[in-house]
A and B are shown apart, each in its own frame.
Chain A
Amino acid sequence: MPKVQTKFGEMEIEEQDIIRFPLGLPGFEHLRRFALQSPADLEPFRFFVPLDNPDISFIVTDPFLFFPDYEFDLDDMSKTEIEVTEESRLTVVVIVNVRDQIENATVNLAAPVVINDGKRLGKQVILSSSRYTTRHRLFNLEHTK
């Protein structure tokens, strides 16, 4: 690789950082290889870069940081697809929708991105329970004013 030009500038991406998404993402089924980048000044946000089309890029974050009660069961089919076993370590991030102002950012809790760290395999899992929506506000302005 290791340098990739992305929408967010040049990034260094090592071979072992590449995560394969066998099904792509809903709406982006042709994108199969991604990398997570964590620039220090963007903490707690990370870039989720599709290496097959670095012109677009996603911003993701740790859902448990903003929603401590967030939880879901990974369905059996998803477990098979990303080869999850008892010993697997998983990373869960959710896609952030920023538009123009960070204050108005929402996250998609209904479709978390689940990554099997060891296997470097990932999937955006759609949760069938109606508990979460695709647009939860990240920041509750009432509390911060």
Chain B
Amino acid sequence: MLVNVQVQAPPDGQGRLETPPPAPAVEAHQLSMWYGQAQALFGITMAVPRHHVTALIGPSGCGKSTLLRCINRLNDLIDGVKVAGRLRVAGTDVYDPATDVVTLRRRVGMVFQKSNPFPKTIYENVAYGPRILGVTRRVELDEIVERSLRSAALWDEVRDRLHESALSLSGGQQQRLCIARAIAVEPEVLLMDEPCSALDPAATAKIEDLMTGLKERYTIVIVTHNMQQAARVSDFTGFMLLGELVEFGLTRDLFTTPRDRRTEDYITGRFG
């Protein structure tokens, strides 16, 4: 079954959306994806608003991480993947053969479930991307490293140990370092795949606070199993089930007045 889900003000105007949604940073239109013969995504249509946090929720295997990984073509690394439909990031067709994947991945940063700092110093982790993009002047790199670490709310904790190994940091600090590394190349979209699932509540709270600040400059798409987290941090939420996007809308509406029975059953914990 194909679904067509878009954010729009309902005709009754029950205070759902006072202003039109911002221009989309990521747009999917009838996006389907197959792993070999197995179809994983079914006709996803959605518009992810710019400079907001959008959460994708749904049970395990619903396709939310698959959808996330389509946005920076991380699924290309898997053999036998086939994609149909259209996906655009800030107007660029992600799956156009002419699209340069390296450039795309600079524009679309990603943070993973398990923090994965390079076995290098804290400084080098953040400077790595800008160096590859050709930044060589030390002063400029210093500036980028400090700005990125400040944006990731890590600067005050590491400013005196920039040249120590990143692996000496705690789990929460490592995850914020990965965020700093991702934003050092000034992406337009930041993808987060279960970024807090390995963190304790205090470290989780820091990352969540961070997202609220980061959305002023970046568009964030987060996949999370934690519905409370989706409710806390996101402005928009999409609920996925069996590879379909069942419902997409303002987070406050989706968590109080979902339109689809399947969404209601999932978020009230009535799905087995």
Asked if A and B bind, the verdict is no
Residues of A bordering B, CB below 8 Å: none
Residues of B bordering A, CB below 8 Å: none
